[in-house]
Structure 1
Amino acid sequence: VKMGVQLIALRCSGYNNINIKYAKDKIKIVRVPAYSPSAIAEYTIALLLTLNRKINKAYIRTREGNFSLEGLLGFNLEHKTIGIIGTGRIAKILIRILKGFNMNIIAYDKYPDNKVSQELGFEYVSLDTLYRISDIISLNCPLTPETKYMINRSSMNLMKDGVTIINTGRGALIDSVDLVEALKDHKVGAAALDVYEEESEYFFEDFSNDIVEDDILARLLSFNNVLITSHQAFFTEEAVKEIAKVTLNNIAFFNKDEIQNEVFYTCDDNNCYIKD
């Protein structure tokens, strides 16, 4: 504000990296709400298939002349139960894809869309029920004070032994320290993470000649049943073009009566809550 900033233009859909309580009534915030939900939904499937069928391991192994199947056993997705947390644009596309695998799909959302659940053929359940009966859990919800660390030791204790967790949402949806412990004692069977709560220190940069000083990230990278990618689920030609187009359009509308894709919110003494 002191430097005359009137608008913050986010090139993403998430807004958890903005102090919206400070910005209230001072700075307008705009975002790109849906640059390519298909890209992220498709990538979620890619992570699930790669993690389950150990495709990444098989690729490396065969390039070295090792054609053994030892350690590559996966499981059929057909008839397995997958729990989707958050049923926004991305999740709806994800569910359509998952129907092709003949999976049992359940979901949790604070604001359920019962019309869509009937159209797509999935069932809304309570969060505890989703934890208890899902073979696979996919996180597709925003990061809010309410959802921060929603995947923690307490919630993981409710889950099936050997559950698979996929996170293409936000890193801090998962308590990474608790995840490490759950992986060590085999409560969590496998995890695929395209996001990490401290990713800003590492993701999008090349540290191949350095030591990863984040002990939790280093520990996660050491597990052979954990797949980590550097926040690339969105990264398609179509998405990058859409991000640029919408961002520039948002800025162009700044001096007009109606600002496109503005983030609306209300604040109380403790937190701010998004209204859009």
Structure 2
Amino acid sequence: MKKIIALSVFVFMLSCATNPFTGKKTLALIPNSQLFPTAFAQYDQFLTENKVETGTTRANMIKRVGERIAVAAERWLDANGKQGYLKDYKWEYNLVNDPTINAWCMPGGKIVFYTGILDVAENETAVAAIMGHEVAHALANHGQQRMSAGMVQQVGALGGNILIKDDKSRQAFNQYYGVGSTVLGILPFSRKHENESDKIGVYLMAIAGYNPDEAAELWKRMGAKSNGQAPPEFLSTHPANETRIKNLQAESALAKAEARKFGVTSFRPIKNF
């Protein structure tokens, strides 16, 4: 068992990657060369099974905003010595006719907006805030990290079951390990990713020419829409709305300063749909 643990630690150390946006080491047990093709195939399958809106004003807007955010990301990466970082990404932005208030991004840059979230967004600048957040998930390889964390969680469960010989103690371990590793490990890990994506996202939207102040306003509307129905923050995969709003308000000035480095001194006007 000691050899297995030592080997696992060694493998984890070798499987770390550096996030260019945070400068931090991140766990990458599944290489993007394997992850991206699987994600692309799943995305294509999803599109065949759902109502994709094409050619409309709002569908074209989603693509336009996505392309601007992707260009902003490439500009930032090139300026910070990370040329070629996006070579394996295949950006795609689709609007799906569904009342769900959500948007998501798969590893490698495959993005979906549901039409339901547009009612909360209300304007293109807010769409850019959402898009920046989703693009940031892809850029920071959060999908890869979540899958790696799940594998670590499974290794911990396996190790406990091997080490604990007594059936009663093993049952207790399995019961408490599942809850404990989720509440104290997986959920904080996910909230950290959401905070990272919020921060990176407002930088990207500002560099793309969208006013980052609107990101906090978007989350005020999200909070009003939820009517306080969200679970406590420590039991959620996402930060509380109040936390996000406070953080986004603090980051907005920094995002504007970063955008000025790229020649952006004014932003597109905010106009409701």
TM over 0.5: no
Q: Structure 2-normalised TM-score? A: 0.28
Q: Structure 1-normalised TM-score? A: 0.28
- Higher-helix-fraction structure: 2
